[in-house]
Amino acid sequence: MQKHVVIIGGGVGGIATAYNLRKLDKNLKITIVSNKPYFGFTPAFPHLALGWRKFEDITVPLAPLLPKFNIDFINESAESIDPENNKLKLKSGTEVEYDYLVIATGPKLVFGAEGQEENSSSVCTAEHAIETQKKLEEFYRNPGPVVIGAIPGVSCFGPAYEFAFMLNYELVKRNIRHKVPITYITSEPYIGHLGLGGVGPSRRMMEDLFAEKDIKYVTNVKVTKIEKDKVVYEDLDGNTYEEPASFTMFMPRFQGPDVVASAGDKVANPMNKMVIVNRCFQNPTYKNIYGVGVVTAIPPVEKTPVPTGAPKTGQMIEGMAMAVALNIVNDIHNSPDRYAPTLAAICIADMGKEAAGFVANPVIPPRAWVKTKKAGWVHYLKTAFEKYFLWKVKRGDIAPWFEEKALELFLHIKPVEPCKECEGTPGSRC
């Protein structure tokens, strides 16, 4: 009997899982459910916000693409999950039955500081980036102080750093940088923490970069209010400060979307509504439910004075997708083999003509290998990877063999590894 795998989400995690499943098993019925009609290359959203990319440059329509690879596509919001009866309810009321469910929705954005959603900008979605671009065009005509950063609980700091550096470069190009003081305010305990406890000398690198580009920074504080002309924050002693701002961009906190919460506390983490998974990214209670991407509940790398979360970068998400696809197919074919992603973080912060790159393998210390690099070629590497990834999406193969070999050879990263602890033995870590 043909098995049906339903994937909620058409982003990196959803597409990667679908393509890996199709490569592993030609007979599977695969359906992607997404409220967006396109795949968007998330790392390029800051570039879209600055007008360095057009929407059509970094997106791929899914309706004409997925049927080429025998993957069904439903362009509709998923409303609720019934894990007991293996059913997914859509916004229209239609119910979709599944044998396996992969939750790859991405996060729900939580604008936790008062006034953040109304008064601040974001680069977390293509739509937000387009709105940010409009605000910036108005700002360039009447420049003033800029404040960029992250509120308490944020897990993805890379885009905030990148946006600060890229905006600095754009202001220099427009010959108005001298009119724009830039301040970076963050919940991180120090600059360059990145939600990773730092990556090698990332603290020293970021301190040098901020000094070189004349960007002031404030760390270890809670942003409590974002108004049209200022940002209010508190230090650990409860003292309140204000920073004037004509333009702001703050990263929101991530939590699981409502469709995940609908599945109950055995699927959704009670604290943040993210998908509860084991090391193989399988839900421990409902064995036919898996999580991939930002929506998975991964604990912070370390406890910090102001709460921070662990980022889930593109490389991590591709590893999750590969492991989940292998585990689903092995389960269908009664194989005991199970796989877990390596979860190594690769992050590149663009700065215009140069970029800063960080590699942490694995994400959770102690690490076997770390690398940091700032250079012009890193900028071009990120641009090349953007085009390469979109090419992968269009051709229906998210993990070409040569990419896996290159990762292992140059960065000592294996996307997935066998997980002996996930074979169903009592008391296993999974």
In contact, 116 and 252? CB cutoff 8 Å? yes
By DSSP bridging, strand 38-40 and strand 29-34 are unpaired
Asked if 347 is an active-site residue, the reply is yes
Q: Which residue has the tokens 């469709």?
A: 259
Spatial neighbors of 314 by CB under 8 A, at least 6 apart, are: 12, 42, 43, 346, 389
Q: Which two tokens stand for residue 413?
A: 């990263």
Q: For 339, list phi and psi in degrees, rounded to 5.
A: -130, 150
> What number of CA atoms fall less than 13 Å from residue 343's CA on the CB side?
21
- The burial of 239, by beta-carbon neighbours within 10 Å (0-12 exposed, 13-18 middle, 19 or more buried), is given as exposed
Whole-angstrom Cα distance, residue 291 to residue 32?
A: 14
Residue with structure tokens 């200022």? 230
Q: Summarize the chain as % helix, strand, coil (round to 5).
A: 30, 25, 45
Give the active site residue among 124, 156, 280, 422: 156
Are 74 and 96 within 8 A, CB to CB? Answer: yes
Q: Is the peptide bond before 270 cis (omega within 30 degrees of 0)?
A: no
Q: Which two tokens stand for residue 139?
A: 């700002």
**Strand stretches in 123-221, DSSP E:** 146-150, 182-185, 215-218
The single residue of 124, 280, 347, 430 carrying the catalytic annotation is: 347
Rounded to whole angstroms, how far apart are CA atoms 285 and 256?
18
Residues annotated as catalytic (active site), given as ranges: 156, 347
